[in-house]
Chain A
């Protein structure tokens, strides 16, 4: 299935279909991750790979309208496919070569299961005391990596802003809608369904956010799901309606607040006598409680930052004025 979708994405010439295939590909990937006992990763892959990414790609498609040149006699591609083919073949061969000496799938004696991991599994109950070990590794043992990841997402948000420019404030400027969705706004059925779905999505986002200590989930996934609700609303009701609820400036502020909440928790721990991100220091009488508090705060920071960046990226795409004059008729026909 994975191979089939990958091949399909190469051979299909209609970009719209390719994006759909990408979505399927991600969903299959998510299934694989689940099979490998990584439900947290699977949830992220499903939300981002199969949810947000296709929407953004569709947005790009709608903006650029570069369908694959249908005429075969159009200018021949300058790129020689041979070099990439060789590179890919060598890489693939190296991967296969490497796999000969890998520990078997599910092998209990594999080094990965026997060195660092046992401590995470056995001692995290007394040291951190939350049931989802993934969350405690992610937010506490290797919390600094996660801080780095949040900054990666923040950087990506900055990058989109740098390339597409800040959003205008919405006053006196017509917002262009995705061509495909402009007509959607008149559909009563869609409106009703969206209205039912949005509160549920938001509620689910909060569940994933705060239940991350007990079951798969956490800030990354919750942030994406939360943003999805707003993106759905934008697609049905248009940007102007969204801006009545949430101002772009506010989203930028939330991006900063998200990362700073994470980083700030670490700083507070530092000034309370621990090392950076040492949540034990947050509560001197009960270090485990300190861990709980620290993880709650940083996960919240992650969630806020991720949601804000996703929204900011999407609105930047959606809010970009279209350049082709004939498409400038607002709101469809």
Chain B
């Protein structure tokens, strides 16, 4: 029994949440469904830790679905990069669920709880499936699962605009997914295989054809929609802004990160560095768009009155940083990008949780609601400030570390590097501006609303765990930096 489980861990990583989802739908009892969902997520997290250590010590793992060897069957392939992402996603999902139990009481109708957890687990399993698989079409199937369930999760929002936001995301997401599918179809047409490693070895022969170039373009654009790269980000602010707090936390911490992972996987593993950056002007395009993303995201963030929108626009800017790291095309730059994915997930998770605490008390998250919160909700606001400092990139927080590495990587690149460094500095200053607005309202203004008191412990504990993690990963960078660096090395150093 134990042996069976241990030898099938890669499959169970995804199956545990995936199969718990229908069970939750069956039971439909509030407390029990939460417990089931939580146990499944926690179990998935434990497997992720185990697999991460396994891969770090013994190198990549391969698991054959149905016992058919690749490329005939579907392969789960774990390497330094995707185990790191799986670890991040499952950790954040666990924290989100801890937060969810109390938070959704105020935001979702009780009869929908079971459906909420079902959709949550499906989304989580979908994201894991995208990350862990070694098969291009399997990636698409799990992208569909996670996308569909994301639309459902967003539509649970109390505000009626949540439905519009969800619909807008549905249209954009479907266009993105269709483009990805067209791209994968072209690749199959030219190579006759869907397995990623096999694609990588068979593509060079047919590289110099229009079909492969078009496939590349379709895949890049499709995934850029999913990861909300400027100017394809228009779905994101409303989706984050009107979804229930729990959903926003989860999406901000995981969903765009997984899309970035998929992009990295296609660019570096399947198409290979030479084709992606040699034959195509990808570095220039990505750098240009990322820099625009940093500026436009940060500037828009300053003018929002709904704090959820502030953080959503800030996410667009932060995605810009990650993409800059990827576009730099060095081990250091890619490492910095991956590291920023990790750190940003924690910081943004922390801030959106703090926001969720405010929402729990006041039922909205406008800037007016924040007036005087420094006195009435000191713990919540302190966590928010810690996350905010991380976002700005203050030393001693996680955000500083990733920006530091990004600057180091940029300086290798001469003039372009200087532009990037300036972008990072200005971006950080703009972040100071939009965070300061909130801090000012919280600490230096008198409350307008009836003070409601501190958020309940059930919400504060996960918020503070992430706040402490923001500080911890700013001091002790062994796990995060090593993980990110080795992931980057496995992609570039692998000599594809």
Contacts and interface: CB of A to CB of B under 8 A. Distances in A.
Contacts of B71: 115-116
Nearest to A280: B67
Interface string A51-91: 00000000000000000000000000000000000000001
Contact of A256 (B26, B68, B115, B218): B26
A163 B155 contact: yes
Interface string A123-164: 000000000000000001111110011011011101101110
B206 A141 contact: no
Contact of A102 (B73, B211, B217): B211
Nearest to B153: A162
A102 B23 CA distance: 46
B66 A143 contact: yes
Contact of A155 (B74, B119, B193): B119
A153 to B, nearest CB: 10
Interface residues of B, number: 65
A95 interface: yes
Contacts of A271: 1, 4
A202 interface: no
A95 B214 CA distance: 7
Residue in A102, A144, A255, A279 whose Cβ sees the most chain B Cβ within 10 Å: A144
A11 B217 CA distance: 31
B379 interface: no
Interface string B186-205: 10111111100000001000
A151 B206 contact: no
Contacts of B68: 140-141
Contacts of B67: 274-275, 277-278, 280-281
Contact of B191 (A111, A120, A154): A111
Interface string A206-230: 0000000000000000000000000
B64 to A, nearest CB: 6
B192 A115 contact: yes
Given A110-B189, A114-B192, A101 B211 contact: yes
Interface of A is mostly: helix
B252 interface: no
A263 interface: yes
Interface residues of A, number: 60
Contacts, number: 170
A165 B155 CA distance: 12
Residue in B63, B152, B209 whose Cβ sees the most chain A Cβ within 10 Å: B152
A111 B192 contact: yes
B304 interface: no
Residue in A110, A115, A166 whose Cβ sees the most chain B Cβ within 10 Å: A115
B214 A117 contact: no
Interface in B17-67: 18-19, 21-23, 25-26, 63-67
Contacts of A253: 26
B230 interface: no
Given A94-B217, A115-B193, A119-B72, A145 B210 contact: no
A101 B213 CA distance: 10
A263 B15 contact: yes
Contacts of B194: 116
A92 to B, nearest CB: 11
Contacts of B210: 97-101
A274 B144 CA distance: 28
Contact of A115 (B21, B202, B214): B202
Nearest to A124: B72
B149 A277 contact: no
B8 A98 contact: no
A255 B22 contact: yes
Nearest to A278: B67
Contacts of A103: 189-190
Given A158-B25, A278-B67, A281-B67, 17 more contacts: A99-B210, A101-B209, A101-B210, A102-B189, A102-B190, A111-B189, A113-B192, A141-B73, A142-B74, A143-B66, A148-B129, A152-B145, A158-B149, A162-B116, A253-B26, A259-B22, A276-B15
20 contacts: A95-B214, A115-B71, A115-B191, A143-B66, A144-B66, A145-B137, A151-B145, A154-B122, A162-B115, A256-B25, A267-B19, A270-B8, A273-B4, A274-B67, A275-B64, A275-B66, A276-B65, A276-B66, A277-B65, A279-B66
Interface of B: 1, 4, 8, 11, 15, 18-19, 21-23, 25-26, 63-68, 71-74, 111-112, 115-116, 118-119, 122, 125, 129, 135, 137-138, 141-142, 144-145, 148-149, 151-152, 155-156, 179, 182, 186, 188-194, 202, 206, 209-215, 217-218
The 9 closest A-B pairs by CB, nearest first: A115-B192, A98-B214, A278-B67, A148-B141, A101-B209, A111-B192, A276-B11, A144-B65, A277-B66
